[in-house]
Amino acid sequence: MQSDTDSDARKALLDEVFTSGRELSTAAVMFHTKLSELRGLSATEGKAIDILLRFGPMTAGEFCQHSGLAPASVTGLMQRLESKGIARRIRHDEDKRKVLIELIGDQVTAATPYFVDFMSGLTELLEGYTDDELRIIADYSAKAAEIQKNAAARLGSSVPEQPLPGAPT
């Protein structure tokens, strides 16, 4: 059985994790917003490129699944990427009824210079962790990303009735 002191210590630790997660989320959004602006893109367009780089050409429906965005949002997003010469629509090799969106040009090379400083800092930080700690970090990051992606897909127009754990008060 946990004592009140143990319970208080756990609550404080959970608060620290939630707070640092919020700080990381904010830093990531701001970094990617600035990076995208430097490339003449919106932050959403920049992250769309990342999704297409990681998963390859896909249908709009598949993009919806990977991003959590609504179909109407994806249609507009893909049109903007096309108009900027970053992506194009192509017919699926096997099912000619399907249309895929694919990137044009070497988007990795275009973005790499902007990531050198950031990735150097992360690499240096991660060198301070053991392999077991890195496995825990990777596990947490992957599971937290999946939870956030699923939560984004479930967002509606209604406001939750009660405060969420870790939410700002």
pLDDT recorded at residue 102 = 93
CATH classification of the domain holding 134 = 1.10.10.10
User: In terms of residue numbers, what domain contains 52?
Assistant: 13-154
Q: What is the pTM assigned to this prediction?
A: 0.75
- 6 belongs to a structural domain: no
> What pLDDT, on a 0 to 100 scale, did the predictor assign at position 91?
86
**b/e code 27-59 from CB counts within 10 Å (16+ = b):** eeeeebbebbeebebebbbbbbbeebeeeebbb
**Whole-number pLDDT of residue 169:** 54
pLDDT of residue 132: 98
- The predicted pLDDT at position 164 comes to 62
Query: Does 4 map to a domain?
Result: no
100 with 58: CB under 8 angstroms? yes
What pLDDT is stored for residue 127 in this prediction?
98
For residue 1, being part of any structural domain is answered with: no
Given a cut of 50, the residues of the chain with pLDDT beneath it are none
Whether residue 83 is contained in a domain is answered as: yes
* Residue 8 is assigned to a structural domain of this protein: no
pLDDT of 125: 97
In the chain, the number of structural domains is 1
